Structure 1
């Protein structure tokens, strides 16, 4: 349960944005140069999928590194309790404070249909987390996650698992984005009965399977969701904050990084930012 809850949080802010350059089609990249004695590897994940099997190239990269670093340390024993604490809206706010009676009924019906419960018991949960609860309903299969797979490999290899940011830093994103904006997307999901979201998620999975990270990054170019509006909070600032951490970890020892594939592309994507910092980042062939 702890890992699944963490994956839902990751999925919330694993976002895509408008690409400024085309990258080679690969979800696995080698980081070298700039004084590194041994290369590290950067893997673009998808947090919710039908098949999170580790392929031969990714396994080879895992074998050549000595620690796994994800967006957050998903092996932290206090992770679940910290997430539970950060799930609720501040100042006693609930969804009822932001929506009409009609919209509240639509959201309630959505949860009854898909979750087997009404919204009343969880109406004080931040809207982003409510949407995350519905993410497994986007796919017609048991949910799998590359983060879970990577954690399993790291444990099997007796390697340490670390994070590029703390869970507190990640949760702060949901405070930086107004509740009103979050709720607007939730109401859209409810009124559409997840139809558009399922179609978009299916497209995202198809593009991810093709490893076209530039096309994946471009997916929301014409999107009107909160993700596009608050790209800076959800993506850019986090990517920039990760670069010094990647530099530090990579200097210490060869490291395998697993982050949402939406973080890879674009002018402010992790690949370009690492190159600007002096590293050679090449598609794994």
Structure 2
């Protein structure tokens, strides 16, 4: 009798271990909203994968009980303060994150003596279409930054062409709202404590680390690419828009594996100049630092943050899945992390 009882106890213990083991080995591949419980948490927390671009707001339509879940939390955890992101980007421009660029020539070197006659004609043609771009030559703005001015000019033209009716104005306003910004605004409206996972110092260290693997670009190469961009910006922007639409489609389908893969390609496409010169090795290094590296840093903070505070964590969906994703790392710490999609369908 005692032998039989011992066998039953060992069997049940084995089954329990297998359940926990299977939860860890079964890597998440679908779902954007996850419930975190167990491991002596006082109350559940939630993890949402976001999309850092236009259209991400649409996912809220497919998440049941989002409002009640969000308002049940008393703390909002995000990557960075997205509402102040433009200011952060401006600070980065003057930081070591641009160390892959050689110094711009001395002040007596201008576009007039750097560009060929043909290149000058191409630059003048785009300035003629938009007089505000004259600032590029007047201020002798280096080519890598001049590209951004031309991008904005091109987008302004496209926006003016699209906004031909009141309906378009309303729809574009909704579509252009970034999900991360909306959630942060919502958290402040409900007086939730807002916590950033990334410190400026940590982000700076990551950017500096990536820069060390990028080949040094001369100002002459920058100038060549500026002209290349002017001649091909319609094709480049069209490609990027198609790529972003593809990523958004995968995001709305809540496919974590494919989204992570495509998002890393998009991260480099954001910086047109870098996408022009980086290798596949640099892309892999960027993934390791921007995704895996940050996940590890965040996991040093999240357990303490959610220990006594019911939290709503919103980070890019690319950080959720995979062996080193947040879901799997939380499970390894004996948290129960369950997709709310499955909960809602049961």
Do 1:87 and 1:126's aligned partners in 2 also have CA atoms closer than 8 Å?
no
Gaps of 5+ in 2: 1-24, 107-113, 163-171, 269-274
State the match for 1:228 in structure 2.
283
Shift of 1:215: 2.0
Shift of 1:208: 0.8
Larger radius of gyration, structure 1 or 2? 2
- Given the superposition, is the C-alpha separation of residues 61 and 108 from structure 1 closer, same or farther in structure 2, using an over 3 Å criterion? farther
Shift of 1:161: 1.1
Q: Deviations over 1:177-222 (max 9, x none)?
A: 22846979xx599355223222211100111111111221232688
| Pairing 1:263-278 to 2, within 5 Å after superposition | 263-278=319-334
Q: RMSD of the alignment, in Å?
A: 4.6
State the match for 2:103 in structure 1.
93
Could you tell me how far apart the structure 2 residues matched to 1:213 and 1:155 are? 28
TM-score (normalizing by structure 1): 0.71
Do 2:28 and 2:327's aligned partners in 1 also have CA atoms closer than 8 Å?
no
Do 2:263 and 2:318's aligned partners in 1 also have CA atoms closer than 8 Å?
no
State the match for 2:72 in structure 1.
64
- Given the superposition, is the C-alpha separation of residues 258 and 93 from structure 1 closer, same or farther in structure 2, using an over 3 Å criterion? farther
| Pairing 1:1-285 to 2, within 5 Å after superposition | 23-50=28-55, 52=57, 54-55=60-61, 56-74=64-82, 82-88=88-94, 89=98, 93-94=103-104, 117=133, 120=136, 123=142, 141-142=172-173, 143-178=176-211, 180=214, 190=229, 191=232, 192-219=235-262, 228-229=283-284, 230-284=286-340, 285=343
State the match for 2:168 in structure 1.
none
| Deviating 4+ runs (over 6 angstroms) | 111-114, 124-134, 136-140, 220-224
- Given the superposition, is the C-alpha separation of residues 244 and 132 from structure 1 closer, same or farther in structure 2, using an over 3 Å criterion? farther
Gaps of 5+ in 1: 1-19
Shift of 1:46: 0.6
1:203 aligns to what SS in structure 2?
helix
Greater helix proportion: 2
TM-score (normalizing by structure 2): 0.60
Could you tell me how far apart the structure 1 residues matched to 2:313 and 2:142 are? 36
